[in-house]
Amino acid sequence: MTPDLSFWTMQTLNALQLSMLLFLLSVGLTVIFGLMHFVNLAHGALYALGAYFAATLASHAGFWVALLLAPLGVAVVGMALYGGLIQRMRKSGPMAQVLVTFGLIFVLLDLTRIFWGDLALAITPPAILAGRVDILGVGYPAYRLFIIALGLGIFAALALILSRTQIGAMIRAGVDNDDMAACMGINVERLFFIVFCVGCGLAGLAGAVAAPLLSVTPGMGLEILIPTLIVIVIGGLGSLKGAIAGSLIYGFVQTFGAVLLPGVASILIYALLAAVLLLKPVGLFPAKG
């Protein structure tokens, strides 16, 4: 195979598409961590839940309804989790949080198996996104382009919300300094609740958009968890910039590694993570110094 322009275009688009999917997942996780110092390992399970919701809804009401309602459904599950578990675990150490959410992975995994069975589900993308679009001579699936656009759109929207709105300022203050945020009269509890639910909703959205791309299986949450964690640790916990940077790094290293250095591709990303932690123990763009 001689790499030519179409090869590079194709792989760049693949890398971007993977990056954007990871971004949707990691941004919620990282902001929740930055704000609440909470490690939610069950974030991947919520992504799987989003995919299952989408698969069920799509077969009854079509893709677009599924894309809209699945994230909302996951956000509602997030609300229940927050009230039942997360709120009580906030003051516990990272280890207790890791373990409770690890237990939650087990529970959610088996619940999806009970409700949807062990067989993989599939949904087809809507007709309008079913074809291919010609980019620099490459016929690229329209649906993958849609994911890239959606990711960039969400990134832009979040950047705007964080920098321009009052709630964005509150989140930034909260990530920067918990005490200060409380002193400024911010209702910290409500802020946490909103951010947690939005984060869960974004995980659900990632699951819903990933569903037509991959087959929907109970294990998909566990599979995506490690890449998501790598993204946020490389990027640095708590920052939007870190989430997008980490996602892009992961997406490109993984995609190009797989085609250019097939033997060591899977080791490459872990070596990169180890190297980052060695040189910058708190990631590339942490929210706090």
Partner 1 sequence: MFRHTPLRYAALIILFSGALFTAFTAGYFGMEILTEILILAILVLALDLVAGFGGMVSLAHGALMGLGAYAFVALATKAGLDPWVAASAAVAITAGTGWVIGAICARSHGIYFIMATLAFGQMGYSYFFEQSFFGGDDGMVGPRRFDLGFIGINLNDSRSFALFCLAILGVIYLVAMAILRSGLGRSLTGVTHNEKRMRALGLNVWRVKADVFGLSGAMAGIAGVLAAQHIMFISPKMLHWTVSGEALVVVILGGLGTLVGPLVGAVAFVVMKHELSHVTTYWHLIVGLVLIAVVMSRANGIFGFIEARFRPKTDRMIQSIQTRDDAKEIAKDA
Is 99 a residue that touches partner 1 (CB under 8 A)?
yes
Element containing residue 63 per DSSP (H, E):
helix 63-81
- Segment lying near partner 1 (by CB under 8 A), choices 98-106, 122-130, 156-164, 188-196: 98-106
User: Per-residue x/- mask for partner 1, residues 49 to 88, rule CB under 8 A?
Assistant: ------------------------------------x--x
Instruction: Extract the tokens encoding 44.
Output: 């991947």
Q: Which amino acid is at 97?
A: Q
Residues 6+ apart with CB under 8 A from 44: 25, 105, 203, 221, 222, 223, 224, 225, 228
> To the nearest whole angstrom, how small is the minimum distance from the Cβ of residue 233 to partner 1?
5
Is 25 a residue that touches partner 1 (CB under 8 A)?
no
| Contact between residue 17 and residue 144 where contact means Cβ atoms under 8 Å apart | yes
- Segment lying near partner 1 (by CB under 8 A), choices 73-81, 121-129, 199-207, 281-289: 281-289
CA atoms lying within 13 Å on the CB side of residue 234:
26
The dihedral built from the CA positions of residue 111, 101, 244 and 248, taken in this order, carries a sign that is: negative
Is 244 a residue that touches partner 1 (CB under 8 A)?
no
Instruction: Extract the tokens encoding 20.
Output: 């954007």
68 vs 99 by CB, closer to partner 1: 99
Q: Which residues here bind partner 1, judged by CB under 8 A?
A: 33, 39, 85, 88-89, 92, 94-96, 98-100, 102-107, 109-111, 113-114, 222, 226, 229-230, 233, 237, 263-264, 266-267, 270-271, 273-274, 277-278, 281-283
